[in-house]
Structure 1
């Protein structure tokens, strides 16, 4: 995990290995204050669409209402300030609860990784416990839902959809 504290304040959630990283990408910030995370910012990777808009090249960990491939517009300060168009993808976010039993913990992590790979889905990990899974339209994600559901039922994790709330820019960005 490589979150960084900004010298002028704030914590920046970063994507170490964005799923659609290319030779030429842009990086922007999303102010997470509208989502109850004052003083925190998510650094997202973008593809320039050459018309003043950008497509998300990473799977958002913390920002609500955005997913891989969604088209956004930036404010003058480089922050994401508008969702222009959704691409139809959804983000399933899972927070694993570390178990004191190392064998059980390793099994939980392995099960999470295996179900994502076996479903052919993309994911990004933020440290060893937080997973953002890209669920494109029409994805056959039953194995992921079943496995993550068992993890949650066993008290070893929590999950949510990133579109449970709409994207909302910080008022100062608009």
Structure 2
């Protein structure tokens, strides 16, 4: 994701450390509750402590010109996320980031996303598929 930056919501945790207070959409590595340090430019410079959370990222696709399909896919995935009691955030009408705490079973939402991907209606990845890097 060269050249792209993501704004993360952070909460002060003391001693120059901040806790991630949102579900990252585009940055590899961080998850809700991770502790990070900032550079002099107020950019995340290092991950200090990982939380027990992971992020499942979903990009919804429209394989046909029918916009109703996108709504149906979105509704199916949102229903599974809600039934599992998981937090999620949306970016536009096609991107969903799901917070997966270690003590929660993501089997049903994960299976729903995999079904949608098999039908070419979604693409998914784990946000920790690559470690966090400042890119420098």
TM range (shorter): over 0.9
User: What corresponds to 1:123 in structure 2?
Assistant: 88
Q: Which runs of 4+ in 1 moved over 6 A?
A: none
> Residue deviations 1:34-92, cap 9 Å, x none?
xxx22211000001012110000001111111100000000011000000000110000
Give the Cα–Cα distance (whole angstroms) in 2 for the partners of residues 42 and 90 of structure 1.
Answer: 17
User: What corresponds to 1:103 in structure 2?
Assistant: 68
Q: Is 2:34 the partner of 1:63?
A: no
TM-score, structure 1 length as denominator?
0.75
- Counterpart pick for 2:44 among 80, 85, 93: 80
User: What corresponds to 1:91 in structure 2?
Assistant: 55
User: What corresponds to 1:12 in structure 2?
Assistant: none
Q: Is 2:120 the partner of 1:155?
A: yes
Larger relative contact order (CA 8 Å, sep ≥ 6): 2
Contact between 2:20 and 2:35, CA under 8 Å: does it hold in 1?
yes
Q: Identify unmatched segments of 5+ residues in structure 1.
A: 1-36
Aligned-residue RMSD, C-alpha: 1.0
Give the alignment of 1:31-50 within 5 angstroms.
Answer: 37-50=1-14
**Residue aligned with 1:67, SS:** coil
Give the Cα–Cα distance (whole angstroms) in 1 for the partners of residues 70 and 11 of structure 2.
Answer: 36
User: What corresponds to 1:33 in structure 2?
Assistant: none
TM-score, structure 2 length as denominator?
0.95
Paired residues in the alignment total 135
> Residue deviations 1:149-174, cap 9 Å, x none?
11001010110000010001132xxx
